[in-house]
A = this chain, B = another copy of it.
Amino acid sequence: MERVALIGASMTQFGQRDAWVRELLSEAGLACLDDAGVEPTAIDHLYVSNMASGEFEGQTGIPNALAHDLAAMPAYTARIDQTSSSGGAGVYAAWQSVASGASDMTMLVGGEKMTHRSTAEATDVIASLTHPVEYKHGVTLPSFAGLTARLYLDTYDAPRESLGKVAVKNHANGVDNPHAQFQKEVDLDTVLDSPIVADPLRLYDFCPITDGSAALMFCPESIAREYTDDYVTIEGIGGATDTHVVHERADPTTMGGVVDSSQIAYEMADMDPDDMDIAELHDMFTILEFLQSEDLGFFEKGTGWKAVEEGRTDRDGELPINTSGGLKSKGHPLGASGVAQVYEIYAQLTRTAGNRQVDADVGLACNVGGFGNCVTTTIMEAH
C-alpha cells in the first residue's frame, strides 16, 4: 500500500455566507488547487463531502457541477455522505483512492449551505438521520446531548462549569482563526447564563448553524516533494459505527464508534494516544469533547472534564484540543467540518497556523456523525 500524503489545503470563511454550496465548494476547491500548485486537469478523483444539498437547496449532483466549475473534467467524482461526519468519510474515501492506486491526485472538497434555513428547519434535516422511532418521539441531536450531559455529570461527579469551560477554551482559540464563524471570547458566566436548550446544556454549549467549505489535496507520498517541501502523511485512518438506535447503547457516555475507529487508526499508524501532539475533536456539543477525549484514550474514562478544568487541553497545555476553535466557534457546515478538522491539523503540522500555531508534529482528527453513530479518526504526521 502506497503511503498517502497531503500536499495542500484550504478553507473558506465559515459563517453566514451569501453563496450556494456550489459556489462555496468552488471557492475552497480553487484555493486548494492554488495552495497545492496542482492544475485542475491533473486531478484523477474529486470527492465532495456533503450531507444534504438536496434537502437544503434542492440541488443534487454537486460533485459533477464542481468538476465542471473547476474545469477538472474528466476527473471521476462522487459525493460521500456520512451525515455530520461526511468530511471524515470523504478523507477516508480520498485516502482509499490513492492507497488503492486508482488515483494519483485526489481532491476532497467538503461543504454545506445551511443558514438560509431556520435553525429549527436545519435541526430537523439533521434529525432525519435518527431512528424513525426516536424521531417520532421528538428526539433531536441536541436532546440526546442534554440527556448524555446529565448522565455524564452525575456519573463522574463533574461540575456543570466544566462543560462551560470547553466553550470558553474553544472560543478563545477561535479568536485567532480568521476563518472561524465566531472570533470572540466568551466568559464562563456568559455560557452558564445563556438560555437553556436541553438541560443541563445551554445555548453556548452548542455549535452554530454554518455555511462553509474546506478542501484537501492527496497524492502518493512518492511524488509529494514535487509539489511541496512541507507535506503531511496520513499515518493511520479508520472508521466505525455504533448502534443507530441511541437508546440501545449500554453506556451512552462511551462512544463506541470513537473507540473502534481510533483503534484501527492507532494500529495502522503504530502509535498510541500519547504520541499525539494535537487533536481536533467533534465538539458539536461541549459534552462531546469530554467523551471523545476519553474514548480516544487521551484521558481516563470520567476524567476528560478534569483535563479541561486543569488547562491540559489549552493551546499551551500538554495536548491542545481544537486549536481551530472547534465546531463550537469555527462553525459546523456539516460536510465541511471533518475536512476542516484535517485542514487545521495540516496547518499546524506545516507551521502555517498563524497566531494559533502550536508545536506539533503528530495530530489526530476525530469526526463524529449522528450522535456517535458513525466516526472516522485520522492520524497525521509532519514531514
- The residues of A with any CB-CB pair to B shorter than 8 Å are 1, 45, 51-52, 54-55, 58-61, 63-65, 67-69, 72-83, 89, 92-93, 95-97, 99-102, 125, 128-132, 237-245, 256-257, 260-261, 369-370, 373-374, 376
Contacts and interface: CB of A to CB of B under 8 A. Distances in A.
A371 to B, nearest CB: 10
B61 A241 contact: no
Contacts of A257: 74
Contacts of A245: 68
Given A73-B243, A74-B256, A76-B239, 12 more contacts: A1-B100, A54-B55, A61-B83, A63-B374, A64-B369, A74-B241, A74-B261, A77-B374, A95-B102, A96-B102, A99-B102, A102-B237
A26 to B, nearest CB: 12
Contacts of A69: 244
Contacts of A73: 240-243, 256
Contacts of A76: 92, 238-241, 261, 374, 376
Closest CB pairs A-B (n = 9): A61-B129, A76-B239, A99-B100, A68-B244, A100-B100, A74-B240, A79-B81, A74-B260, A96-B96
User: Residue among A74, A80, A240 with the most chain B CB within 10 A?
Assistant: A74
Contacts of A83: 60-61, 64
Contacts of A242: 73-74
A46 to B, nearest CB: 8
Nearest to A50: B81
Nearest to A79: B81
A73 B130 CA distance: 16
B125 A241 contact: no
Contacts of A130: 61
A370 B64 contact: yes
B77 A78 contact: no
Given A1-B101, A74-B260, A128 B241 contact: no
